[in-house]
Amino acid sequence: MHDQWTFIAFFLPVGFLAAAVAIIAGRLLGPRKPNPIKQSTYECGIETVGEAWVQFRIQYYIFALIFVIFDVEAVFLFPWAVAYNKLQLYMVLEGVLFILILAVGLFYAWRKGALEWS
């Protein structure tokens, strides 16, 4: 088991560091002549009005919310799917029931218009 993860313990940092090396190389190779206009925030040529960190619509949060719930649901179901071949019929139906209960939530969100973008 640990053998399986040693590769990943090497692989992820290597992917990270390779990118970091490229960025450092870019830093060294590229010119550096900063000036205020160059460093100003890009706004299609129009002067920035107010801070960049404006408030956002609630809809983003709602989607993230539904996502979290369904993500957890899927994670619950993965062990069930792995054990699928060893399960009796009623156990499989329990997993289906689990999905159906969550589907009620999706249906509710749909009916309440929480899935609309506008």
Partner 1 sequence: MDFNFWDPFTWIGEWLLNLLVGWGLAETIALTLLRFAGAVVLALVLLLIGGVLFTWLDRKLSARIQDRLGPNRVGPFGLFQGIADTLKLLTKEDIIPAGADKIVFNLAPLLVTMSVVGIWAVVPFAPTLIGTDLNVGLLYIISVGSIGTLGIMMAGWASNNKFALLGAFRTVAQMVAYEVPMVVVLLVPTMFTGSMSVHAIVEGQSSLWYVALAPVAALIFLTTSIAELGRAPFDLLEAESELVAGFNTEYTGIKWGMFFASEFLHGLTISALTAAIFLGGWQGPGAEARPLLGFVYFMIKTMVVYFGVTLLRFSMPRVRIDQLLDLNWKFLTPLALAAVCVTAVAEKLALATNWSRLGVHIIANVGLLILTLGALWVRARMVRRRFETEQMRLAARSESAAD
Partner 2 sequence: MTIAQIVFLVISATTLVASILVVTSRKMVHAALWLVLSLGGVAVLFVLLQASFLAVVQVVIYIGAIAILIIFAVMLTRRMMYDTGSPINRYWWAGALAAVLLFAGLVVMLGQIPSITTQASALPIPEGELLSLLGTALVDVNGYMLPFEVASVLLLAALIGSLVVARPMERKTEEGDKR
Partner 3 sequence: MIPLSWYLIVAAAMFCIGIYGVLARKNAVGILMGIELMLAAVILNLVAFWRYLTPARISGQAFAVIVFAVAASEAAVGLALIISIYRRRSTVVADEIDILKW
- Two structure tokens written together for 109: 């969100």
CB of 93 to partner 3, least distance (A): 20
Tell me the C-alpha to C-alpha distance, in Å, between residue 72 and each of 33, 59, 61, 65, 91: 49, 20, 17, 11, 19
Residue from 28, 75, 82, 89 touching partner 3 (CB under 8 A): that is 75
**By CB under 8 A, which span of 14-22, 25-33, 40-48, 72-80 interacts with partner 2?**
72-80
- Two structure tokens written together for 10: 């090497």
Residue from 27, 39, 86, 89 touching partner 2 (CB under 8 A): that is 86
Nearest to 83 by CA among 99, 95, 70, 71: 95
Q: Name which of 25 and 65 has its Cβ closer to partner 2.
A: 65
Tell me the C-alpha to C-alpha distance, in Å, between residue 4 and each of 1, 8, 17, 35: 5, 7, 21, 49
Query: Which residues in 30-49 contact partner 2 (CB under 8 A)?
Result: none
Question: 29 in helix, strand or coil?
Answer: helix
- Kindly list the residues in this chain that would bind partner 2 in the complex (CB under 8 A): 1-2, 4-5, 51, 53-56, 58, 60-62, 64-69, 71-73, 75-76, 78-84, 86-87, 91, 94-95, 97-98, 101-102, 104-105, 108-109, 111-114, 116, 118
